[in-house]
Amino acid sequence: MKIETKLEYFTTPLYLESGRILEPYQITYETYGEINSDASNVVLVCHALSGSHHAAGRYEGDQKSGWWNGLIGDGQAIDTQKYFVISSNVIGSCFGSTGPMSNNYPSNQPYRLKFPVLTIKDMIKAQKQLLSNLGIYHLKAIIGGSMGGMQALQFAVDYPNFADKIIALATTYATQPWTIGFNKVAMEAIRRDPRFNNGQYEKDAFIENGLDGLAIGRIAGHISYLSPDSMSKKFGRNYVSNDGLFELFGRYEVERYMEYNTNNFSKSFDPMSYLYIVKAINTFNLSRGYDSLYDAILRIKAQTTLISFKGDYLFFPSEMEHIEIMMQRNQQNIDYYEIESDYGHDAFLVELDKFEDIIKQALEDEQ
């Protein structure tokens, strides 16, 4: 599989949903496989909150592969012998696209909290611009989970003729207050951390010692990515501290898991980007800009595959079902799968064997 990581600069303005303008901006993206002569084999893959353009393959020296490495590759469900896969880092991110810690023009200082609020609509608009610059005006498919699924759905609503197919996993039609609540923990924990200093921190200040506020917010996140059942199966009431049950800060296994994952995360993810991306998730609502959710969904022309997971406590299956029911009623081209899983929301990143055949089939189906 041929992998390329590239950066594209845009000097044309990006008109944002807020009315503000992002100019100039850049997008980092990765491609897998090769484009065919008529550019008819392009698949766009969209990442989630903590993801990046690095969806597949493994960089030299890295222990971990891309976040959907098991799904994207030669002979895999998203077969790079057939498809040319593009994975772009969303704007707002800290992994190479323009975000709040990028330098503003012409001051050459980081935007920080002056960075404009971005939405999912803005993210896909930027990606569409990227594709145009690459000479790609039509996609075979758009695939993503969680915030990636929001992008796939938003693409299908905003640009109905742009992709033949969309596949959205573990996502929703509009972010619900339960999920906004979880995000609130992160937003407040970051905002109130003295080291966050109202955004006036040095770039890369937290590489050595991650920001506590982000780590704490991420603990709440990890609760929502798992589920009561998955946590009971994974951790039970196992206690792992040597200092015994009667030590105030002694740890249950679930607590150690939370600490380990979140402390590391807070060293590698910029807290300002986290705030902006979480805000984009909060404001996600397919109906915005249309007369109703029904009107928005009625616009979809792509062959749509929706995959939800039974134990998903962040975006409940009923939310995906809500889309399915509308599309069924409209006799739109929709397939919906609710998958049994012990992994909760994380299933879209973990239990690939449970849905890789669905994705493979959906991509191969002739419309």
Dist. CA 215–CA 366, nearest whole Å: 45
CA-nearest of 316, 334, 271 to 99 is 271
Closer residue to a copy of itself in complex, CB, 137/178: 178
Binding status of residue 17 toward a copy of itself by CB under 8 A: yes
Shortest CB 306 distance to a copy of itself, Å: 19
Binding status of residue 10 toward a copy of itself by CB under 8 A: no
Query: What is the x/- site pattern for a copy of itself, positions 175-214, by CB under 8 A?
Result: xxxx-xxx-xx-xxx-xx-x-----------------x--
Token pair of 208 as six digits: 């050595």
Closer residue to a copy of itself in complex, CB, 287/333: 287
Q: How many CB atoms lie within 10 A of CB 340?
A: 10
Residues 6+ apart with CB under 8 A from 246: none
Residue numbers annotated as active site: 146, 312, 345
166: β partners: 142, 304
- State the sign of the Cα–Cα–Cα–Cα dihedral 126, 170, 293, 166: positive
CA-nearest of 190, 146, 209, 199 to 347 is 146
**Binding range to a copy of itself, per CB under 8 A, among 35-43, 63-71, 129-137, 223-231:** 223-231
Closer residue to a copy of itself in complex, CB, 246/366: 246
Shortest CB 270 distance to a copy of itself, Å: 14
Q: How many CB atoms lie within 10 A of CB 156?
A: 27
203: β partners: none
User: HSE of 22 in the Cβ direction (CA atoms, 13 Å)?
Assistant: 29
Shortest CB 328 distance to a copy of itself, Å: 22
Query: What is the x/- site pattern for a copy of itself, positions 27-66, by CB under 8 A?
Result: ----------------------------------------
Site for a copy of itself in 105-124 (CB under 8 A): 113, 116-117
Dist. CA 74–CA 71, nearest whole Å: 9
Chain residues that interact with a copy of itself, rule: CB under 8 A = 17-20, 113, 116-117, 174-178, 180-182, 184-185, 187-189, 191-192, 194, 212, 215-216, 219-220, 222-223, 226-228, 231-232, 234-237, 245-249, 252-255, 258-259, 275-276, 279, 282-283, 285, 313, 316
